[in-house]
Amino acid sequence: MKILKQIFLILIIFQLFINCGQKSQVPSNKIRIAASITPLADFAKQVGGERVEVFTVVPLATDPHTFELTPDLMVRISESHLLVLNGVGFEFWAEKVSNNIKKENFIIVDTSAGIKIIKELHHDEKHPLESGNPHIWLDPLNAIQQVKNIRDALIKFDGEYRELYETNAGNYIDKLTKLDEEFHAEINTWKMKKFVCFHPAWEYFALRYGLDQAGVVEKSPGAQPGPKEIAEIIDTVKLLKVKAIFAEAQFPDNIIRSIAEESGIGVVPLDPIGVSQNLFHYTDMMYYNVKQMASVLKE
């Protein structure tokens, strides 16, 4: 493990050496922001406006739960002023960043601050393990708190433009508040409130709008269900008369397809990250997901 860390550090230094002779494409007056996932990148752009230049750390269509940080990305992060994280252990690579990047004008923003986290219980070979569900951004009111945390970090780093950040954040929060109101009105008309999905991404969303995430195919990242668990999911689907299983583009769907075929139901794609349909704006992504859910829950 120590040798791997040394190799990683050497690769970072080498990449920095290569970059020394290259001119940055970001204007010197821009605040450079690295955001872990697409929704957070959108939040940062909404708050920062023309004042910021944002890039997304986790590549498109990549599973963020198993994403590995590369030396090249580490260099790009080190050249940024802010690193915007979801928190709740979602970015397991964040510790590597904090250990390797030591500079005064660099702020790591944990956007989960101030949000009530849903606890989850997992099991390893011998002991139960408690962790937090990290998918906080899928509740629009949590997203509002994340926007506020980004706003406060930008003001701390770039106080001269405080009014700009406060105005932009206020306008976007109004938009998210309206989004939440629309979703409440829409989802209240749905006859079916229970659903089955690939992994527990939609727990915060379900809690906000009175839905029930009744079944999950993959309860922990990379932990594929065994025959007994698959049988239980099929029983749940039949008992609840679920019309479809919600899948996600970032994950393999072979297990979901087999469960759907065995149960005689369909598969409906959702997108919690905003990449499969080029839904780079959070509001577009959320409207898309609600429309997809409505196709099987409304009637």
Mark which of 129, 159, 180 sits at the end of a domain.
Answer: 180
Cβ proximity of 191 and 298 under 8 Å: yes
The chain-wide mean pLDDT, for the chain, equals 87
Q: Tell whether 159 and 212 lie within a shared domain.
A: no
Are residues 211 and 148 both part of a single domain? no
Mean pLDDT along residues 204-210: 97
Q: Is residue 173 part of a domain?
A: yes
Asked, for residue 20, whether it belongs to a domain, the answer is no
CA 276 to chain centre: 14
Residue 12 has pLDDT above 60, yes or no: no
User: How buried is residue 141: exposed, middle or buried, by Cβ count under 10 Å (0-12/13-18/19+)?
Assistant: middle
HSE-up of 248 (CA within 13 Å, CB side)?
22
Q: Which residues of 185-220 are buried (b: 16+ CB within 10 A; e: fewer)?
A: ebbeebebebbbbbbbbbbbbbebbebebbbbbbbb
Residue at token pair 């206020």: 170
Q: Give the pLDDT mean for 122-149.
A: 82
Q: Poorest-confidence range of 119-123, 172-176, 188-192? A: 119-123
The predicted pLDDT at position 62 comes to 80
Give the residue, 1 or 80, on which the prediction is more confident: 80
- Name which of 14-23, 208-217, 281-290 the model is least confident about: 14-23
Out of 155, 180, 205, pick the residue that ends a domain: 180
- 205 lies in the same domain as 163: no
Q: Are residues 155 and 7 in the same domain?
A: yes
Bridge partner residues of 33 (DSSP): 54, 82
Expressed as residue numbers, the domain containing 249 is 189-297
User: CA-to-CA distance for 224 and 159, rounded, in angstroms?
Assistant: 47
Query: How does pLDDT run across 234-289, given as a tens digit for each residue?
Result: 999 999 898 899 998 767 678 888 899 999 999 999 999 987 767 789 999 999 99
* Of 64, 70, 92, 78, residue with least CA distance to 19: 78
What is the total count of domains within the chain?
A: 2
CATH number at 68 reads: 3.40.50.1980
Backbone phi and psi for residue 218, each to the nearest 5 degrees, phi listed first: -115, 105
The whole-model pTM stands at 0.88
Least confident of 12-26, 103-117, 151-165: 12-26
Assess if residue 159 is contained within a domain: yes
**Share of residues in the chain with pLDDT > 90 (%):** 67
Tokens of 79: 């050249």
Q: Are the CB atoms for 214 and 236 separated by under 8 Å?
A: yes
Q: Tell me the mean pLDDT in the region 49-62.
A: 92
Please tell me whether residues 166 and 277 are part of one structural domain. Answer: no
